[in-house]
Amino acid sequence: MSIYDENQLLRILRSFGEINLEYFNSRLRFQKLGYLAQEMGADGGFPYSWYLRGPYSSSLSNTLFMGVEVDAFKENVPLKESDKKIVSRLTNLLGKGIDKPDTLELFASVWYLMPSRKMSGNDVDSTVEIMKAHKPQYTPNQVKDAIKKISEFRY
């Protein structure tokens, strides 16, 4: 078993399909799924910071590219029970948007900006304003809907 098989986050990401990094949207998808999975408790150890398209981990990116280069992701790896719970939570949160880069960017960005405590009305307004300034492609209602769904998972 390789380090790529032992890392919980990498196992979870592999469960969402082939790790193909040729296309930007594919790379974005794995970044956002990775961020959300770690926030839901997956042990990955990848630090994230804010970037143009929301939370981004250069170390996750490097690990994925290295894994593709050495064919580490060719074979499927069985998920552990704790992995399956996180996959289920991601699927429940994102629904059909789990394969849509725009939806993933919205949810990961909102999650990143939300305080770790229960949000007040001012917190919601502040998050909407930050998103409007940095990601004007999302309407205030889309941001508020994401906040509502994320709050159900976090609190």
Report the half-sphere exposure of 26 (CA within 13 A, side-chain side): 11
User: Tell me: the pLDDT tens digits for 101-140?
Assistant: 999 999 999 999 998 888 888 999 999 999 999 999 999 9
* Nearest to 36, CA basis, from 91, 115, 73: 91
Query: Residue 118's pLDDT is what?
Result: 86
**Strand 49-51, strand 54-56: pairing:** antiparallel
User: Tell me: the pLDDT tens digits for 83-93?
Assistant: 999 999 999 99
**Domain boundary assignment for the chain:** 3-154
Q: What is the mean pLDDT of the chain?
A: 94
* H/E element, 56: strand 54-56
